[in-house]
Amino acid sequence: METGSYLLITRGMTVQGTDGDLGTVAEVVADSGVDVFRGIVLAHGFLSAKHAFIPAENILRVEHNQVWVRLTKSEAEQLPPPAFGGQAFEGRNELL
């Protein structure tokens, strides 16, 4: 990440891609015990929210209450749904 800290990322923040708004942060995926940031879960889609995992290496910066990522809208649509520990993401409330 070039600017900011993953500790600034909160649920509901807008996620901006290289060509515009991709959606919002559904979850921050981190191991705060050892200060390791894994990425974010993106909520996107119009009528039914879809979820996709964006790895930390694709996060460019966090500023002005927005998360900027190195993905286009088309690339974000192609991301698979997140899976943690062999289970699909279902709107968890805790940091993973």
pTM of the model: 0.82
Q: Which two tokens stand for residue 21?
A: 């708004």
Cα atoms in the Cβ-side hemisphere of radius 13 Å centred on 37: 18
Q: Which two tokens stand for residue 53?
A: 């995992």
Helix (H) or strand (E) holding 87: strand 87-88
Encoded amino acid at 46, one letter? F
CA distance 28 to 24: 11
Per-residue pLDDT of the chain in tens (96 residues, 90 and over written 9) = 666 788 899 999 999 999 999 999 999 998 878 888 899 999 988 766 789 999 999 999 999 999 999 999 999 999 988 876 544 454 444 443
The pLDDT of residue 83? 79
Domains of the chain: 6-74 (2.30.30.240)
